[in-house]
Amino acid sequence: MGFFEKFKKGLQKTRETFFGKIKSILKGKKLDEETKEEIEELLILSDVGYEATEYILERIEKADGDDAYEALKKVLIDILRGNNDLIISDLPFVISMVGVNGSGKTTTAGKLASYFSKNGKSVVLAACDTFRAAAIDQLKVWGDKTNATIIAHQEGADSAAIAFDAVNHAISKKKDVVILDTAGRLHTKKNLMEELRKINRVIKKKIENAPHEVLLVIDAVTGQNGLQQAKVFKEFVDITGIVLTKLDGTAKGGIAIAIAKELGIPIKFVGLGEGIDDLKPFDAEDFVNALLEGE
Ligand SMILES: Nc1nc2c(ncn2[C@@H]2O[C@H](COP(=O)(O)OP(=O)(O)OP(=O)(O)O)[C@@H](O)[C@H]2O)c(=O)[nH]1
């Protein structure tokens, strides 16, 4: 299945419930009071959020053309587009996965390992979430599936030491990509943020520019709550990209637009299912087309 087909399938609920209705309301028309209210409601219900919704409507009004639908499409693409590609600039390239428990971090680390392997890269997966024994086992299963090397210590071990080992291993064995699966929960928020910073400090001793990417994993199903969590992480950690997971499980996929607009951080990948191939590099145009016109 091509990327666009994947987007279409993954966004089916959001399209059928909300976005798919927009074309018949706006195509070939100007935005008037009545259509404006209809669109506003659809956007808000799909978790686009108040701020982004008002911005979108304002932009359509300013566009002042005869086709409000095309104007809307353009605004959505503008909001979502920018720095969406993950470019491997240095070797070994270190990616840190952060986010709350259950957001899909470990699964996404595994899917990313598969994605890079398929693109001819050798991968090291580091089980830095030592808060939960199951997370370590889960990552080991992904290691088997993807041919990635797993670096893990026992439950409760120092996560920065594991990250350090993983980076060392990658340097000495000339591996291409290191993916750090960090903890999503510790006893306090302060502990968690301290731990993430410590991991960064420690790996910088080996590779100055690492981590090259810090990907914040957000569960789309949690909608506006996920956005609030993201704001907390953003305060403490330099996030370089978002992975929005479980888009297939929600009708409120409009959260992608709220995230891009309010956080100003590019979406780099989206999770469109539980399977190993269900993680896709983000493409704003394909995403918007799949959102608005699936059929
Ligand atoms: N439908 C769907 N399910 C997903 C997607 N991504 C992850 N999941 C599921 O979400 C659940 C939680 O994923 P995990 O990877 O365990 O989440 P986590 O953030 O690592 O959580 P902890 O390991 O508890 O820290 C699993 O059942 C995954 O299969 C997605 O894109 N679509």
Report the pLDDT value the prediction gives residue 183, as an integer from 0 to 100. Answer: 87
In this structure, what token pair is assigned to residue 105? 């971090």
Report the pLDDT value the prediction gives residue 190, as an integer from 0 to 100. Answer: 84
**Which one, of 99, 103, 100, 48, lies nearest residue 219 by Cα?**
103
Report the pLDDT value the prediction gives residue 64, as an integer from 0 to 100. Answer: 79
pTM (2 d.p.): 0.95
d(CA 180, CA 186): 16
SS3 track for the chain = CCHHHHHHHHCHHHHHHCHHHHHHHHCCCCCCHHHHHHHHHHHHHCCCCHHHHHHHHHHHHHHCCCCHHHHHHHHHHHHHCCCCCCCCCCCCEEEEEECCCCCCHHHHHHHHHHHHHHCCCCEEEEECCCCCHHHHHHHHHHHHHHCCEEECCCCCCCHHHHHHHHHHHHHHCCCCEEEEECCCCCCCHHHHHHHHHHHHHHHHCCCCCCCCEEEEEEEHHHHHHHHHHHHHHHHHCCCCEEEEECHHHCCCCCHHHHHHHHHCCCEEEEECCCCCCCEEECCHHHHHHHHHCCC
Report the pLDDT value the prediction gives residue 295, as an integer from 0 to 100. Answer: 61
Angle at which helix 255-263 crosses helix 223-236, to 10 degrees, equals: 20
Report the pLDDT value the prediction gives residue 3, as an integer from 0 to 100. Answer: 82
Q: What ipTM describes this predicted complex? A: 0.93
d(CA 142, CA 147): 8
Give the binding-site residues of ligand 1, using a 6 Å CB cut-off.
101-107, 129, 132, 135, 184, 245-246, 248-249, 271-274, 278
For ligand 1, the distance from its centroid to the CA atom of residue 106, given in whole angstroms, is: 7
Report the pLDDT value the prediction gives residue 271, as an integer from 0 to 100. Answer: 97
For ligand 1, the distance from its centroid to the CA atom of residue 273, given in whole angstroms, is: 9
Going from the first residue of the chain to its last (295 residues), give the mean pLDDT of each consecutive group of 10, the final group possibly shorter: 88 96 94 95 96 97 91 97 95 96 94 96 96 88 94 93 98 98 82 92 97 97 92 92 97 96 96 94 96 82
DSSP β-ladder status, 241-245 and 123-127:
unpaired
100 contacts 218 by C-beta, under 8 angstroms = no
Question: Which atom of ligand 1 is least distant from the CA of 109?
Answer: 15
DSSP β-ladder status, 213-219 and 267-271:
unpaired
Q: Residue 100: phi, psi to the nearest 5?
A: -75, 160
The answer to whether the annotation marks 181 as part of a ligand binding site is: yes
56 contacts 232 by C-beta, under 8 angstroms = no
In this structure, what token pair is assigned to residue 191? 């502990």
Report the pLDDT value the prediction gives residue 186, as an integer from 0 to 100. Answer: 66
For ligand 1, the distance from its centroid to the CA atom of residue 155, given in whole angstroms, is: 20
Choose one of 98, 107, 252, 267 to mutate for the ligand 1 pocket test, by most ligand atoms within 8 angstroms of C-beta. Answer: 107
For ligand 1, the distance from its centroid to the CA atom of residue 105, given in whole angstroms, is: 6
C-alpha dihedral sign at 232, 237, 243, 245: negative
